[in-house]
Structure 1
Amino acid sequence: MCRRKATNPRSYAFYFLLCECLGFVIAVSNLFFTNAFLGGNFFSFGPSSIKYLSQHAADPENPLNEIFPKVAKCTWYKYGASGSIQKFDSMCVLPLNIVNEKTYIFLWMMYVLTATVCGVVLLFHLILFFVPNVRNTYLVYLTRDQTTKSHLVHVLPEGNYGDWFLMYHFRKNMAYYKQWVAKVRRALDEKKKG
């Protein structure tokens, strides 16, 4: 018979924090990879594009044309009257670049928004991880019932971040959270007495 090893609450909290760190790294990496793909112009592309698109005047120095030109010089090879291949130079319209520039403006906005939100959430969770008083106060603040608040004030200082992490998620997902916290407090009081 296969037995499953009991998992420590700290490891759940640690893996959760690790996943948030990886999410932030991926969000920032998307910015740098796209910047490298566009030849180092992606960081300045977004702000200059939004500034240009918000103006009504048609500026000949369109920043969108620097990365995604709409017109380019093309070389055409064509059979002539004698059957030999002739070379022609002409101007070609690149309609796909119109779609590309709008796509990359949207990507720039989404990448910056995602990296910002991931950074703020990660910073908040790192503060909760490193400052026990903040995390305990935060969980007590989120609890509406006064008796549960008083139980939490006694229970939370006894635990670590992993215990707090599970209690936080139990609060959101457990139907009998109040009764459970009261039981935990009774168990801790009996442990201190015995």
Structure 2
Amino acid sequence: MGEDKSAIKSGTPMLGVLGPLSSQTKLFSSRTKPRGDSFIFRMHYRTTFVFIMACCLLVTATQYLGDKIACLVDKDSLSQKVIDTYCFISSTYTLPSTKDMQEGLQVAHRGLGPDVPEEETVYHNYYMWVPYVLFLQALCFYVPHWLWKMMQTDKVMNVLQGLNYLIVDQEQRKKKEDTMVDYLYYNWGRHNIWAIKYVVCETLNLLNIILQLIITNQFLGGEFMTYGTQVVEFMNYEPQNRSDPMYEIFPRITKCSFHRYGPSGSIERHDALCVLSINILNEKIYLALWFWFLFLLVLTILLMLYRMATLLFKPVRSKLMLGRNARYGSRDTAYFVAEKCDFGDWYLLNTLSRNMNGPVFAEVLKKLTRKMEEGDDATLKA
């Protein structure tokens, strides 16, 4: 213990101070392992990652377990398998000029009709790329967490030393509290870089959700940004006056043109009507993604505004610490510590308070305040 105390007084790094007790944290499962991130941060790399991966697996299973596409051809001499495969790997198309025509009377299916030269044609080939795009998007939501995991070096877990769990042995608890206070005191002012790294990762979350909105919008031909609002408006229209936006973006019936050489060597064109049953699933997935991305974007923007306020304004940090310590500890103690905090120290204390029992954290602040006051008195006497 003599060596440990001398290491603390010389201002050694965190692991040197907490070495004797940090090994105990390995006994705790990684599932309950404390981290220095927020609930909204976890919504990016946990909730969103799992949700998008589940959608990816669902689409992949549907494509491999059922027919990806089924096309009706106009010639019996053509192989059904060849036409289905060709239309799936090339592309199918619809005619926007016929989307408002009455189905069954003016056109066989909405969005289809006889080909007219120079008529606008919308090609659809995104459906075969949906699983791959979803998989890459899921990875993008995990990247900021992976970077933060690499940079934080388990600081929060090592500082806590298991104080986030209920410790019945009072002597053991006090020993860990004293070790935590020693670390906080002798490393005061050295956590700014660590905290700024976290703010950078939070910023990456915001940039990523914006990027995913742009990528998805481009992937779906520029229709994703207004997809959710169009669906909501569609639900409020009268049945005879509404056009389903899900059908327009994710058509279930499309056309496909196949060319081959005839008996005389001339080029023959064969039209096929193709049923894209996979789009019934795709339209629901992207509708859910639209609402989730919007919800997550709003939460992340609010989080970044909160983070900027805590980063730039000390009174905000002081009030937050007072609020957390008001129930179990002294307001004067919390205010004293908060006034001496820069952003890095405040963020570490704030993170510890979220992972610790209220009375235990209040006791740590009380001991830290006493140690700071003793240090100030010693400085004045010197």
TM surpasses 0.5 = yes
Equivalent position SS for 2:274: strand
Contact 2:328 2:362 in 1 (8 A): no
CA distance in 2, matches of 1:147, 1:31: 45
Shifted more, 98-107 versus 69-78: the winner is: 69-78
The answer as to whether partners of 2:250 and 2:280 remain within 8 angstroms in 1 is yes
Residue 185 of structure 1 pairs with residue 369 of structure 2: yes
- Aligned residue pairs total 189
Contact kept, 8 Å, 1:75 with 1:88, in 2: the verdict is yes
1:173 deviates by 2.5
Alpha-carbon distance between aligned partners in 2 of 1:164 and 1:172, rounded to the nearest angstrom: 12
| Aligned amino acid, residue 180 of structure 1 | V
C-alpha contact 1:128 1:134 (8 A) present in aligned 2: yes
Q: Can you give the 5+ residue segments of structure 1 that lack an aligned partner in the other structure?
A: none
- Looking at structure 2, the residues matched to 61 and 55 of structure 1 have their Cα atoms a distance apart, in angstroms, of 9
Matched, 1:144 2:322: no
TM-superposed CA distance for 1:132, in Å, is: 0.7
Percent of pairs identical after alignment? 25
The alpha-carbon deviation at position 141 of structure 1 amounts to 1.1
Q: CA 1:171 to 1:92, structure 2 compared with 1: closer, same or farther past 3 Å? A: closer
Tell whether 2:346 aligns with 1:167: no
| Length-normalised TM-score, structure 2 | 0.45
Paired letter, 1:148? S
Deviations 1:12-58 (A, max 9, x none): 21122111111111111110110111122211222112221354515
Moved over 6 A (4+): none
Residue 136 of structure 2 corresponds to none
Question: Higher mean Cα deviation, 167-176 or 157-166?
Answer: 167-176
CA distance in 2, matches of 1:16, 1:73: 50
Letter of the structure 2 residue corresponding to residue 41 of structure 1 = E
Q: 1:178 to 1:60 in 2, by over 3 A?
A: closer
For structure 2, the residue ranges without an aligned partner over 5 or more in a row are 1-11, 15-189
What secondary structure does 2:200 align onto? helix
The structural deviation recorded for 1:112 is 0.8
1:38 aligns to 2:220 (yes or no): yes
> What is the DSSP-based 3-state SS (H/G/I as helix, E as strand, rest coil) of the residue aligned with 1:91?
strand
Structure 2 partner of 1:127: 309
Kindly indicate whether the alpha-carbon contact (under 8 Å) linking 2:191 and 2:344 is maintained by their aligned counterparts in 1. yes
CA RMSD of aligned residues (A): 2.8
CA distance in structure 2 between the partners assigned to 1:90 and 1:133 by the alignment: 69
The TM-score with structure 1 as length reference comes to 0.83
Identify if the C-alpha distance between structure 1 residues 26 and 193 changes in structure 2 by more than 3 Å, giving closer, same or farther: same
Aligned with residue 12 of structure 1, among 183, 189, 194? 194
Match of 1:91 in 2: 273
Q: CA deviation at 1:163?
A: 1.1
Query: 1:151, CA displacement in angstroms?
Result: 0.6
